[in-house]
Chain A
Amino acid sequence: MTYVLVRLDGLYIFDDDINNFKLKELSFDIKELIDIESRKLPDKIKELIKDDYIFIGQKFENYRYTDDVKIIRKALEKVKDRYNNELLLNLLKEKISNSVSKDELIIQAIRFLDNLNKSINLIVEMFREWYGLYFPEISQNIEDHEKFVKTILNKKREDLIKEYNIKITMGGKIFDEADYNILNNIGSHLYNLYTLRKNIEDYIEKLMKEYAPNLSEIATPNIGARLIALAGGLKDLSSLPSSTIQILGAEKALFMHLTKKAKPPKHGVIFNHPYLQKLPQKARGAMARTLASKISIAARADINKDIIYDKLKAELDRRYEQLKNRK
């Protein structure tokens, strides 16, 4: 029996009792190092391996290995202590680069969208307050922020007075051109932000439909993206039990339940799903359970690149009808 260990400086070939070794010096490039970590043996090592060789702690496909800790410890004591810093730094950079996936894009996009929404709401509320000095009636007439911004953009008070048939305005009389222009300027930037929001939403939807078609269909693209963000990736989401998926996004309530004995949460971000929204409160727990289980199956199908959403959707619809008609 001969033991072998792959190290950065080559192949260490040990005798039976791990006391002596021969070092077959080799040097590896980054691709080969990544192969070694993903348990694929580079060809230049394969050539050196004989049938009775046993790898120490390293599991390569189709090769024998031992995970006896005593042998691993002993072998590590013998090996030479040398490294190539530059190679390892480049390996690290390569691995960081390889780790960027579509998951990351989805996660960043959905986080950006949430924060953009918050920012827009903050700005638009302050804007309305300011605009109220100019023409408060229009702000009182239109509740929806986006519609408000679209209505007033590039229009003066005189135009809007006619359009909305308002006889006397409470707006100030002291507005000159500069006072008005700055308001319109903010308005046009807000309008652009709303356009940006729409673009991001469309982008997420498109990305989700390509990357996770089943999940998008069952959970809606928006909630699907949120679930991916909370789990840390589609793969992570697919390995979660459906009971966890059910309450993703309700961590605060869950910890209150675990530590302070509050009621357990029934749903996390899936709460925004149309099927949950449409059902009476009593039925939502049951619906959330079913929905979470279908989401978990959908995510697993997406990992395997299967398309099964028709079947899942039908099952989900059946349960929804059942619960809707339940007294």
Chain B
Amino acid sequence: MKLKPLKENKNIFIDDKGRLYTKNLVKGQKVYTEKVFKYNNEEYREWVLKKSKLSASIKKNIGLVPINEGDRVLYLGIAAGTTASHISDIIGNDGMIFGIDIAPRILRELVPIIYKRDNIIGLLNDSDKPDSYLHIVPKVDIVYQDVAQPHQIKIFLENIDYYLKNRGYGFLAVKARSINVAKDPKEIFKDVRKSLEDHSLNILKEVRLEPYHKDHAMFLIENK
């Protein structure tokens, strides 16, 4: 096996079979069911496509992964930290993830991960009320959202208004089935596109996440 850095982001690696990896920030730590192994004296973790919408969107040619070392990331809907752990690998110890989630049960699973990763802060808050964490979260380089809420777009836009710096990036994972089960996902993604444009955001790319995640799309946006 041979690993080489991805052209979109030098901290994400790809093998000859097209699987994605990040360099493990915490030696020996396994976050979910991913494979962990040594290569050239460094430890890597596989970024399982079916477990993460971000890795799936990279695989589906999102074209740009503007997550850099030292970045501040506001992560809405961090849950058990599967995707967040890979972002944590990428941003390194100088970066920081502010992970918001409303569900105490799932955050219980995040706590053991935070013990070992100093660059993740878990916050039990409602991302629908961005003012409830104004005393903690700073201006961020990236807003990442993956929440299963009918009004997830409104939540995303509000948080961008508060926290995303000018020319910062946003990743929006849209779950069509959570917005409206009865509607055609294509229509929903069209509506999402319109709401983002109306909010004067630059849509850099929209990718569908089939076959890894059914009826999902990832939008990459830039704050003007």
Contacts and interface: CB of A to CB of B under 8 A. Distances in A.
Secondary structure type dominating chain A contacts: helix
How big is the A interface, by class?
20 to 34
Select the residue from A99, A100, A255, A259 with max chain B CB neighbours within 10 A.
A99
A223 interface: no
A279 interface: no
A59 interface: yes
Contacts of A258: 181-182
A95 B135 contact: no
B125 interface: yes
Interface string A1-17: 00001111000000000
B188 to A, nearest CB: 14
B138 A81 contact: yes
Closest 6 CB pairs of A and B: A99-B104, A95-B124, A258-B182, A96-B104, A76-B139, A69-B161
A77 B139 contact: yes
Interface in A18-47: 33, 36-37
A92 B111 contact: yes
B134 interface: yes
Interface string A65-82: 001010011001101010
Contacts of B77: none
B207 to A, nearest CB: 25
Contacts of A255: 181
A39 B36 CA distance: 44
A89 B124 contact: no
Interface in B112-155: 114-115, 118, 121-125, 131-136, 138-139
Interface of B: 72, 96, 104, 107-108, 111, 114-115, 118, 121-125, 131-136, 138-139, 161-163, 165, 181-182
Contacts of B132: 37
A96 B161 CA distance: 28
A92 B100 CA distance: 11
Contacts, number: 76
Nearest to B134: A57
Given A76-B163, A89-B111, A95-B104, A7 B135 contact: yes
B15 to A, nearest CB: 34
A73 B136 contact: no
B118 A96 contact: no
B97 to A, nearest CB: 12
A4 to B, nearest CB: 11
Nearest to B165: A77
B26 to A, nearest CB: 14
Contact of A36 (B111, B135, B138): B135
A36 B131 CA distance: 11
A5 B135 CA distance: 7
Given A7-B135, A92-B111, A93-B111, A37 B122 contact: no
B104 A8 contact: no
Contact of B131 (A58, A83, A89): A58
B182 A83 contact: no
8 contacts: A58-B131, A72-B134, A72-B162, A73-B162, A77-B139, A88-B122, A95-B124, A258-B181
Contact of B96 (A7, A56, A76, A83): A83
Contacts of A140: none
A197 to B, nearest CB: 25
A259 B121 contact: no
B142 to A, nearest CB: 15
Nearest to A86: B118
